Amino acid sequence: MSALSVPSPLPRLLNRELGTLEFNRRVLFQALDETNPPLERLRFLSIMSSNMDEFFETRVATLQDMVEAHPLATTPDGMLARDVLAIVSERAHALIADQYRVLQHAVLPELQRHGIRIYLTADWTPAQAEWAQHYFDTEVSPLLTPIGLDPAHPFPRVLNKSLNFAVQLHGTDAFGRNIELGVVQAPRALPRIVPMPPDLGDVRYGFVLLSSFMQAFAGQLFPGLDVLGVHQFRVTRNSEVFLDDDDITNLRAALQGELRARHYGDAVRLEVAAECPQVIVDRLLRENNVVPQDCYRVDGPVNLVRLQEILDHVREPELLFPPYAPRLPAGWPGADVEIFDRIRSRDLLLHHPYDAFNPVVDLVKTAARDPAVVAIKQTIYRTGGDSQLMEALIEAARNGKEVTVVLELMARLDEETNINWSSRLEEAGAHVVFGVVGFKCHAKMLLIVRREPVDGKQKELRLYAHLSTGNYHSRTARLYTDFGLMTANPEICEDVRRVFLQITGSSRVQQLARLWQSPFTLHANVLAAIEREARHARAGKPARVWARVNALLEPRVIEALYAASQAGAEVRLLVRGACMLRPGIPGLSDNIRVRSTIGRFLEHSRVFYFHNGGEAEVYISSADWMERNLLRRVEIAIPILDNKIKAQIIREGLRVQWQHPGNAWDMDGEGNYHRPRGSRSRLSCHQVLMNSRNARRD
């Protein structure tokens, strides 16, 4: 594609890492938003902390590796990686400081007004201190291994994201050694939030942080020495998994070795308590080989993710979002062979979490027990450690079905769970395939082969498929927005069969009739569809590109969208997270709008809608518009052939977010986000869709 003439001096792309930080600022706003229930505000703070952990483990770690390998390395937007690191550090420090201000001055006071309080050491009454001492003696101290640092006990290499305490000491131990510093690592088995007995507090729900127990009683771990201070700290490490594709003979064994190493990768961030003395900070920086800009002083616990434990102890529904029960499709038969009649009669769309995930589990359970089913093939990316669906696949294998599971061992942060499932599946007799080395299998596919009579004649094999934008994970299906399609369409099912053949066998690229597949055709077809809309616009015809993705980072797709905008096509993009495209730039992207929705549910589905001269073309997909998804993964995009379902996806997956922007943010050409103006609706798209399901149920 030729370069476009742009009257603006701005770079054509925004920076990915800065876009990710902006996404986390939008998450933080949910914790500040007083219209959200108090415990949900706490949950958003925890979600932001989890996001930031992964940001440092992956994105910051990647930037640091780039700079170390080549000091003049640049990111795709043209910035020097070292400059990006400096800006990221500045903005991350400001963002995390804001996060703790929201915690201390907004969320915790609001929780206390509702009878939920965290008792710090200075707040304890004598009775509370007595209880705390007993708890420390019986539940905490026996699990701790204090280390007094001397030449025989060097500074320990602490686990990634573990809670640790630097203990300032003064005195001489039993062997005459002068000890000035000790380190205590908190075992992960210890809860970070401990409920206080109700009769000891002045609120309904009182809690004590593990760090408060340590502040009060750490001296007992070093008897005979004076404790001058106890300071919590946490180290975040590079958690990317690197495998040499040319030197792998057993992927599972190689990955298990890398996962052990992940816990001790290079440090990328140091978090310390705000009051930690500089002399201790300097020692921690040296021992972990990080620079001062990588140190984050925090006003509170160093890991806000663990504050979510409070939600497990508080039984106050009014402090949470009102409960919502996903609906089942009308006349859904449950785990019954009539499921196949239902799918064969017409394609079925599920829109999670508004629609229940049960039909997907029912489908696999039914296939596992139905004598007419002879084979089941499924891809698994993330599914969780406790999965009815996986148990059904194991049951199917034990029942003599030909079960093939493409299990992606390289699913980031879920590798260990998937390794465990792979062993159980193999023990049951299933065929387990670990995808394609070098190409993560991110496609969400289920194929069922059933022998059944056709037109009352001899039995033949018939294919059924479930294809989705989201993972086969019952818990996240209640929290993430995703589309799933059940179909018996022969062309689509045959395409799915061929994709499985590519993954599990050794074959040339299979020509597909309906599906777009990466790394072969998806990228090219997306570009071609966008360019077709540009041609229509130049010819004076209506032209439209609407899309919904989690991230928009692939430069050639961005250039195609710029060209479509210049041609006059309407481009509307729903991008939850990082977006490197600049919308609304005169002469470049005048006709492009970008919106991000952050709210009760995590926006996760991918939808592509092209006007196509009035013959609307709609796809749902597992792939974001990122280079890795379009060119380095196994992904699919599924065409929607049923006009009624097509209209539903446009209405519920795209249009509703533009009509009801109550939890939306609009992006400008500088990468900043603003609340939409001019809309008469204050409802969020999530609430609108829940209301529509409730009305249908009534």
Report residue 437's pLDDT band, with 50, 70 and 90 as the boundaries: confident
Asked whether 61 and 266 are in contact (CB, 8 A), the reply is yes
Confidence of residue 224 (pLDDT cuts 50, 70, 90): confident
- What pLDDT sits at residue 113? 96
**Higher-scoring residue by pLDDT: 164, 454:** 164
What pairs with residue 336 in β-bridges? none
The confidence band for 570, taking pLDDT boundaries of 50, 70 and 90, is very high
Residue 244: pLDDT band with limits 50, 70, 90: very low
The torsion angles phi and psi of 197, rounded to 5 degrees, stand at -55, 130
Active site residue 442: yes
Exposed/middle/buried for residue 162 (C-beta within 10 Å: 0-12, 13-18, 19+): middle
3-state secondary structure of 298: strand
What φ, ψ does residue 3 adopt, rounded to 5°? Answer: -65, 140
Q: Express as a percent the part of the chain with pLDDT over 70.
A: 93
What mean pLDDT comes out for the span 343-359? 96
What is the structure's pLDDT at 624?
97
User: What is the model's pLDDT at position 172?
Assistant: 79
Burial class (CB in 10 A: 0-12, 13-18, 19+), 122: exposed
Tell me which CATH homologous superfamily contains domain 517-697.
Answer: Endonuclease Chain A (3.30.870.10)
Tokens of 595: 């919106």
608 has a pLDDT exceeding 70: yes
Task: Decide if pLDDT at 248 tops 50.
Answer: no
Q: Is the pLDDT of residue 403 over 80?
A: yes
Q: Please determine, for residue 217, whether its predicted confidence score (pLDDT) is greater than 90.
A: yes
What confidence tens digit (pLDDT) does each residue in 442-485 have? 999 999 999 998 777 778 999 999 999 999 999 999 999 999 99
* pLDDT tops 90 at residue 242: no
* CA distance linking residue 612 with residue 616, whole number of Å: 6
Backbone phi, then psi, for 273, in 5-degree steps?
-65, 145
7-18 tens-digit pLDDT: 445 789 999 999
Same fold, 16-319 and 517-697: no
Q: Token pair for residue 688?
A: 């609108």
Could you read off the pLDDT of 574-599 as tens digits, one per residue? 999 999 999 999 999 999 999 999 99
Q: Domain coordinates of the chain in residue numbers?
A: 16-319, 338-508, 517-697
Instruction: Name the CATH code of domain 16-319 (choices 3.30.1840.10, 3.60.15.10, 3.40.50.300, 3.40.50.740).
Output: 3.30.1840.10
Q: What is the CATH number of domain 338-508?
A: 3.30.870.10
Pairing state of beta strands 440-441 and 633-639?
Answer: parallel
Residue 264 — very low, low, confident or very high, per pLDDT cuts 50/70/90?
low
**pLDDT(413) > 80:** no
Q: Which residue type is seen at 139?
A: E
Give me the residue label for tokens 């907004």: 106
What is the chain's mean pLDDT, rounded?
90
The residue annotated as part of the active site, out of 231, 351, 442, 473, is 442
The predicted-structure confidence for 301-341, as pLDDT tens digits, reads as follows 999 999 999 999 999 999 999 999 999 998 899 889 899 99
Question: Per-residue pLDDT tens for 377-396?
Answer: 999 888 877 889 999 999 99
Tell me if residue 613 falls in helix, strand or coil.
Answer: helix
Specify the pLDDT at position 240.
65
Is the pLDDT assigned to residue 357 strictly greater than 70?
A: yes
Q: How confident is the model at residue 258 (pLDDT cuts 50, 70, 90)?
A: very low
pLDDT at site 306: 93
* Predicted local distance difference test score (pLDDT) of residue 9: 58
Of 609, 632, 467, nearest to 549 by C-alpha is 609
Per-residue pLDDT, averaged over 286-298, amounts to 95
Residue 421 scores a pLDDT above 90: no
Each residue of 193-217: b (16+ CB within 10 Å) or e?
bbbbeeebbebebbbbbbbbbbbbb
